[in-house]
Amino acid sequence: MASLRSLWTGLVLLGMLGMLGVLQTAAQAQILLSDFQQEKFMGRWFSAGLASNSSWFREKKASMSMCSTVVAPSADGGLNLTSTFLRKDQCETWTMQLQPSENPGSYSYQSPRWGHTSLISVVEVNYDEYALLDTKGIDHDFHMATLYSRTQTLRAELKEKFSTFCKVQGFTEDTIVFPPQTDKCLKEKE
């Protein structure tokens, strides 16, 4: 009887350790960058990968194309993200004003159109090549992952990294998009 109890105790502990590993993996994706260097994050990025739980995103993902985003400092210490994208065969530009939060690489954004607030966090970055961003609604059900690239061409390893990141965040394969490049609206150099 004692050995059966030891076996069950061992199995329960093993199960808990396994669960902790899963939780740790999910939590690792949320680790904030204590050494985030905002000035190195500035400049042009391309939206190379996207995933979202939004119904709007699911409806539009087939018609999405890569957009370019210029990250610049704002007067309040936050960031201005100015994105240029193709919509109905026209180039449109949209600017998001991100407010700094208490954590490095983490910003809040309030949508002027909907009034909703989201938390945008840079969870991994190689300032010369790519950045992984995680966006979660604070007062609404919204979750988005973004892969920024410094170039329009993306290495296969980065696609795999982004897909893995998205799946850890709970996104399914059908919610992950790698928007195709377009000649319109994108400029490699300013």
- β pairing state of 79-87 and 68-73: antiparallel
Q: How far apart are CA 80 and CA 96, in angstroms?
A: 6
The first and second tokens of residue 173, run together, are 């394969």
Q: How far is CA 173 from CA 53, 85, 167, 176, in A?
A: 12, 24, 8, 5
The first and second tokens of residue 130, run together, are 């790519």
Active site residue 91: no
8: Cα separation from own chain's centroid: 41
Q: 39, 12, 34: which is closest to 121 by C-alpha?
A: 34
Q: How far apart are CA 164 and CA 159, in angstroms?
A: 9
Q: 146, 152, 119, 126: which is closest to 35 by C-alpha?
A: 126
Instruction: Single out the catalytic residue among 67, 91, 166, 185.
Output: 67
Report, as residue numbers or ranges, the catalytic residues. Answer: 67
